[in-house]
Amino acid sequence: PVQDSRTAVVFDKRLESHFSQWNTAFTEIPLRVAEILHRCDQLNLLERCQRIPVREATVEEITTHHTKAHIDLLESTATMDENELKQISQKYDYIYFHAKSAENAKLSLGGVIDLVDAIVSDKVRNGMAIVRPPGHHAMKEEYCGYCYLGNVGIATQLMMDKYDLKRVLILDWDVHHGQGTQYMFYDDPRVLFVSIHRYEHGREWPHLREGDYDFTGEGPGKGFNINVPLNEIGCDNSDYLAIIFNLLLPIFYQFDPELVLVSAGYDCAIGCPEGEMLVSPACFAHFVNLLKPLAKGKLALILEGGYNLKSLAESSALSLRALLDDPTPLILPITAPKHSVTESILNCIKVMHQHWSCLQYQDFVEPQKVKAETYPYQGVLHLPPVKDVEFYTSQNRPEVFPLIQDCANDITLQAKAELNSLIERTVQNTSLVVPKDRLGFVFENGSSATILEHLRARESWASYPSLQDTTQHSGSAADCIKASMDSIFSNEIQCCMCCLQSECQHPPLNGKPLNGNSEPSLVNLIEHHAIDSKSVNRILIIDLCPDLPSYQDTSKDSSSMLYISLRVTAHEGEEPFVSPHAVDIPLSQGVTSSADFMAEFLQIVLPIAYEFCPELVIFKLNDMRILPKHMSKACLGHLTQLLLGLAGGRMLLLTREAAQTEQSSSEDSTPSSSSTNANSEDKGEGESNEKRAAETRSDETEGRDEDSLALELL
Ligand code: Q9C
Ligand code: ZN
């Protein structure tokens, strides 16, 4: 077992004792956590985690949310006979009492509190509480929906009290509205509470008017309560990711939490009869991956619902695996979300845009005004939906690199009777290949390697044992790129940083030589070395470039390459160029902060990338000196993190060793998050400041410690 793992888990045999003795419709059963643990164990995940013991929560802790009467009544059930238990259960909505209920509820809460405390106090980086009973329906003085004590809410309150936290994000992806948590922080601007839930215009349990999108918080908490109602069943990966990309992530980045707690119910996962949704197990790993860059990695997943044992266990295990930084399994290309989901997103933007400037780029009253047609990949620019939802079947599904084939989307074409075999397939396909090493380094022509020096100086260096004796390839830029691709596609390494000296600059794909006349261009290299000779189907190139790249479609089959240029110094009034295999995003005009930049990235680049579904991402950073003053380097670390969710984490990072200036840190987004914690010692105040600055649209980024920022997320 790993001694000092940075990922913690909480579980306990004692949490498998309470159950419903008379009503088998109450599916919150001990087997739930047992199956999760079994699956995590099969995948050898538990031994890679640090285990935090479970203890009973104290009365003082519980009374931060509940009344004394609430505790007393709960405790009195421990000595009741079956008849009394039955009677008292009937007074509540979807609640059963068992002699062990009180104990289980207190243990569950105690475990959650200690996990979150360990994360906030930096004893571990992140973690998962595999506990029951759940908590998000529990109210001040009312048990509800299998919940007795408000685990996540109470942990949040305690951490704010103890550590003076100012911004906590609670994302409740359990398929039911987390009304208990919502009530607790409804007027508190320190807690951004977000619930995505099956709503069906109030027809779904718990049938509360306050689960709708227009319940946005009150008093100082206005704008800090976000409900995303799902008004249809059958919402899938594309629907959830559309919500996350277009609405939630921009707000999360602007909010800039110090701690992220997830009410992680897996009843929105495929096969759960409570949710009747279609989120695939692998998609939860993506959710986790998208949240990891926030709050310097301080992220806790706390189990709530989830009642299909198979998909519950798989989804939880893949979530834990994402916390452990294993490569994120591929999911099928996303499509446009359902109309009703688009509607919910737009409604949320309508009520939220006055509170969150990151949403002010968007139209919401007259969706047809939105300028989606500028971009070739329109299917995922959801405002409004520009094409009908398409589902992939085993017949028309695009080939994916054989890391994992996720098949949740198929379900929409299948009869319910086939659900189980589909879940079975999804689970079997999760046998993800994990490359030997996470990160490799390649330098052009024995370059001075100041980047390596820089990295060695960091505390996080110790967490890359394999790097410490990395052979530094030398040779031309082309040799370096080839060597990188070879190691990635042979699964020796997951990602590679390629430090070039030469002008690996724009125009990158114009067929011109990389470096001198004898060298092939980047596009030719990719074409010959990956697409032709390794049968790679789709490569995404993201180019952070200064000027309009003179992109020419030299590739024979360029549908296997998608080129996205983020032009950070575009000139006033410059139009994007349009090409079928390129997306050009001129950034200058409206972009005045990292948060602005992130919003564009989240709402345009990520959806397109997830629709393209690459097998390799090439992130071309060019020369960091071109970065506008307002854009922090930590922001680049975030981009890298987010892009790592694609292509099973296969990334080739092309940087250029800075020539003479102080800003030598072009390596800032070294693609590993295995030590996100390392930044806690950094004085990198910029990461958090940049979003606060964004709120006031202030430019001041003076006095930032560029170097510490640069590596903040490593
Ligand atoms: N579909 C949790 O998931 N059942 N509680 C409603 C109508 C509600 C769910 C039945 C069950 C409570 C934590
Ligand atoms: Zn639920």
How many angstroms separate the alpha carbon of residue 267 from the centre of ligand 2?
A: 6
Helices (H), 256-405: 281-291, 309-323, 339-352
Give φ, ψ of 87 to 5 degrees: -65, -45
409 and 458 both lie in a single domain: no
What pLDDT score does 449 carry?
A: 59
Q: Looking at per-residue confidence, does 626 or 82 come out higher? A: 82
227 and 314 both lie in a single domain: yes
Confidence of residue 697 (pLDDT cuts 50, 70, 90): very low
237 and 371 both lie in a single domain: no
405 and 494 both lie in a single domain: no
Q: Which of 18, 66, 137, 454 is catalytic?
A: 137
Distances (CA, A) of 616 to 132, 403, 489, 635: 39, 12, 9, 21
Among the candidates 378, 398, 428, a domain finishes at: 428
374 and 472 both lie in a single domain: no
423 and 493 both lie in a single domain: no
482 and 551 both lie in a single domain: yes
Express each pLDDT in 204-257 by its tens digit: 899 888 898 989 999 999 999 999 999 999 999 999 999 999 999 999 999 999
356 and 244 both lie in a single domain: no
Among the candidates 402, 428, 454, a domain finishes at: 428
Q: Does residue 267 line the site of ligand 1, with CB under 6 A?
A: yes
Q: Is residue 328 part of a domain?
A: no
Q: Does residue 176 line the site of ligand 1, with CB under 6 A?
A: yes
Q: What is the ipTM of this complex?
A: 0.98
Instruction: Give, as one character, the DSSP assignment of residue 588.
Output: T
Quick check: is 137 catalytic?
A: yes
Q: Does residue 217 line the site of ligand 1, with CB under 6 A?
A: no
346 and 384 both lie in a single domain: yes
Q: If you search the block for the tokens 């001041």, which residue do you land on?
A: 700
**Smallest CA separation from ligand 1 atom 9, residue:** 145
Q: Does residue 150 line the site of ligand 1, with CB under 6 A?
A: no
Q: Is residue 625 part of a domain?
A: yes
Q: Is residue 457 part of a domain?
A: yes
Percent of the chain having pLDDT more than 90? Answer: 45
Express each pLDDT in 196-210 by its tens digit: 999 988 888 998 888
Nearest atom within ligand 1 for CA of residue 305: 3
Q: Does residue 577 line the site of ligand 1, with CB under 6 A?
A: no
Q: Is residue 92 part of a domain?
A: yes
356 and 479 both lie in a single domain: no
How many angstroms separate the alpha carbon of residue 127 from the centre of ligand 1?
A: 25
349 and 309 both lie in a single domain: no
Q: What CATH number should be reported for the domain holding residue 614?
A: 3.40.800
Q: Collapse the DSSP code of 498 into the 3-class scheme (helix H, G, I; strand E, B; otherwise coil) and give the result.
A: strand
pTM comes to: 0.85
DSSP bridge partners of 585: 566
Confidence of residue 574 (pLDDT cuts 50, 70, 90): low
Q: Is residue 333 part of a domain?
A: no
The strand pair at 616-622 and 539-545 is best described as parallel
- Judged against a pLDDT cut of 60, whether residue 361 lies above it is answered with yes
- Judged against a pLDDT cut of 90, whether residue 159 lies above it is answered with yes
Q: Which two tokens stand for residue 396?
A: 């028309």
What pLDDT score does 138 carry?
A: 97
Express each pLDDT in 400-430 by its tens digit: 222 223 334 333 444 455 667 667 766 555 5
Domain that holds residue 158: 7-323
**Smallest CA separation from ligand 1 atom 6, residue:** 205
Q: Is residue 309 part of a domain?
A: yes
Helices (H), 583-696: 594-600, 606-612, 633-643, 686-695
**Smallest CA separation from ligand 1 atom 13, residue:** 305
Q: Is residue 161 part of a domain?
A: yes
- Judged against a pLDDT cut of 60, whether residue 512 lies above it is answered with no
Q: Looking at per-residue confidence, does 499 or 558 come out higher? A: 499
Q: Does residue 146 line the site of ligand 1, with CB under 6 A?
A: yes
Collect all residues with Cβ–Cβ distance below 8 Å to 24 and sequence separation of at least 6: none
- Judged against a pLDDT cut of 80, whether residue 711 lies above it is answered with no
Number of domains comprising the chain: 3
How many angstroms separate the alpha carbon of residue 34 from the centre of ligand 1?
A: 20
How many angstroms separate the alpha carbon of residue 110 from the centre of ligand 1?
A: 23
In whole angstroms, give the CA distance from residue 607 to residue 247: 12
Nearest atom within ligand 1 for CA of residue 198: 1
How many angstroms separate the alpha carbon of residue 95 from the centre of ligand 1?
A: 10
Strand intervals (E) in 22-79:
50-51
In whole angstroms, give the CA distance from residue 700 to residue 698: 6
Q: Does residue 145 line the site of ligand 1, with CB under 6 A?
A: yes
- Judged against a pLDDT cut of 60, whether residue 26 lies above it is answered with yes
Q: Is residue 350 part of a domain?
A: yes
Q: What CATH number should be reported for the domain holding residue 156?
A: 3.40.800.20
What pLDDT score does 577 carry?
A: 65
What pLDDT score does 360 carry?
A: 75
**Smallest CA separation from ligand 1 atom 2, residue:** 305
- Judged against a pLDDT cut of 90, whether residue 617 lies above it is answered with yes
In whole angstroms, give the CA distance from residue 322 to residue 287: 9
Among the candidates 401, 428, 455, a domain finishes at: 428
Q: Which of 126, 112, 151, 150 is nearest to 12 (CA)?
A: 112
343 and 219 both lie in a single domain: no
Confidence of residue 702 (pLDDT cuts 50, 70, 90): very low
**Smallest CA separation from ligand 1 atom 5, residue:** 145
The number of helix segments (H) and strand segments (E) in the chain equals 22, 16
In whole angstroms, give the CA distance from residue 188 to residue 439: 42
Mean pLDDT of the chain: 77
DSSP bridge partners of 386: none
